[in-house]
Structure 1
Amino acid sequence: MLKIQGKIKQRQKNMEKQNIKSQKQVLRSLEELKNSDLVNLFEVKISLRNQKIGVFIINKLVSYLQQCKNVKVISLDLAHNQIELQAAIYLASSLKQLTNLTSFSLDISENNLKSDGLCFILDSLCQSNLEKLKLKLNNTCIEDQVVPVITQLFNQKLKKLQIDLGRNKINGQGICDLVSAFQICVNLEELSLVLDLDFRGDLIAKTLGLEIKKLENLKKMQLSLCRFSLDGSFIKDLNPIFEQKTQLKQFEINLKTNYLKDEQVIGFFKQLELCKNLESLSINVGYNRLKGNTVECIGSILTQLYHLNYLSLNFDENQINGECVKSFATSLLQCKQILFISLVLPVKQIDLEQAEYLKLKLKKLPKLVQLNYEVEDYDPCY
Structure 2
Amino acid sequence: MTLDLRFNKLRPQDISDLAASLSSCINLLTLALDLGYNKIGEQNLTGLDSALFNSINLTNLTLDLRGNKIGEEGALSLGFALGQYSNLQTLTLCLQLNQIGNEGTTNLCFGLVSCSNLSDLTINLDQNEIRLSGATDLGTTFANLTKLQKLKLSLSQNQIGDRGIKSLCTGLANCKNLLDLTLGIQQNLVSHQGVLDLGLHLADCIQLQNLTLQLKEVQHIEGPSVLGINCLYNLGSSLMKCEHLHILTLSLSYRDINKVSKQKLVTKLYKTKRLLRTIINYQG
> What SS does the corresponding residue of 1:204 show, helix, strand or coil?
helix
Which SS does the other structure have where 1:158 is aligned? coil
Tell me how far apart the structure 1 counterparts of residues 240 and 163 of structure 2 sit (CA, whole Å). Answer: 27
How far apart, CA to CA, are the structure 2 residues paired with 1:309 and 1:323? 22
Q: Residues 156 and 188 of structure 2 are in contact (CA less than 8 Å); yes or no, is this contact kept in structure 1?
A: yes
Inter-partner Cα distance in structure 2 for 1:184 and 1:119: 19
The letter of the residue matching 2:230 is N
Unaligned 5+ runs, structure 2: 219-224
Q: CA deviation at 1:330?
A: 2.0
TM-score by length of 2: 0.85
Q: Deviations over 1:86-118 (max 9, x none)?
A: 221221121111111122221111112223332
Higher Cα Rg, which structure: 1
Q: Would you say 1:311 and 2:248 are equivalent positions?
A: yes
Aligned amino acid, residue 313 of structure 1: L
**Structure-2 residue corresponding to 1:94:** 21
Question: In structure 2, do the counterparts of structure 1 residues 253 and 230 end up closer, same or farther at CA, with 3 Å as the change threshold?
Answer: closer
**Could you say what the CA RMSD is over the residues aligned between the two structures, in angstroms?**
2.5
In structure 1, the residue matched to 2:222 is none
Partner of 1:356: none
List per-residue Cα deviations over 1:317-349 (Å, max 9, x = no partner): 54437657525422134355625x53125xxxx
| Residue of structure 1 aligned with 2:60, choices 132, 135, 140 | 132
Does the CA-based 8 Å contact 2:159-2:188 persist in structure 1? yes
**Kept after mapping to 1: 8 A contact 2:9/2:38:** yes
Question: Is the CA contact (8 Å cut-off) linking 1:302 and 1:331 kept in structure 2?
Answer: no
The one-letter amino acid of 2:92's match is Q
Give the Cα–Cα distance (whole angstroms) in 1 for the partners of residues 173 and 242 of structure 2: 15
Paired positions, count: 273
Equivalent runs, 1:164-175 vs 2, <5 Å: 164-175=94-105
CA–CA separation in structure 1 for the residues paired with 2:41 and 2:254: 35
Of 98-107 and 289-298, deviating more is 289-298
Instruction: Tell me: CA distance 1:230–1:215, structure 2 relative to 1, closer, same or farther (3 Å).
Output: closer
Q: Which residue is 2:233 aligned to?
A: 296
Task: Determine the structure 1 residue equivalent to 2:42.
Answer: 115
Unaligned runs of 5+ in 1: 1-73, 346-373, 377-382
- Structure 1 or 2: more helix by fraction: 1
Superposed counterparts of 1:106-255, under 5 Å: 106-129=33-56, 130-153=58-81, 154=83, 155-229=85-159, 231-255=161-185
Q: CA deviation at 1:260?
A: 2.0
TM-score using structure 1 length: 0.65
The Cα shift of 1:230 comes to: 7.7
Does the C-alpha gap of structure 1 residues 230 and 275 become closer, same or farther in structure 2, counting only changes over 3 Å? closer
2:183 is paired with a residue whose SS is: strand
- Distance, in Å, in 2 between the alignment partners of 1:89 and 1:127 is 15
Is 1:75 aligned with 2:2? yes
Q: 2:193 aligns to what?
A: 263
> Counterpart of 1:266 in 2: which secondary structure?
helix
Distance 2:161 2:24 in 1: 48
The answer to which structure, 1 or 2, has the higher relative contact order (CA under 8 A, 6+ apart) is: 2
Q: Which residue of structure 2 aligns with residue 329 of structure 1?
A: 267
Verify the 8 A CA contact 1:302 1:335 in the aligned structure 2.
no
Deviations 1:187-217 (A, max 9, x none): 2212222111342521311212222111121
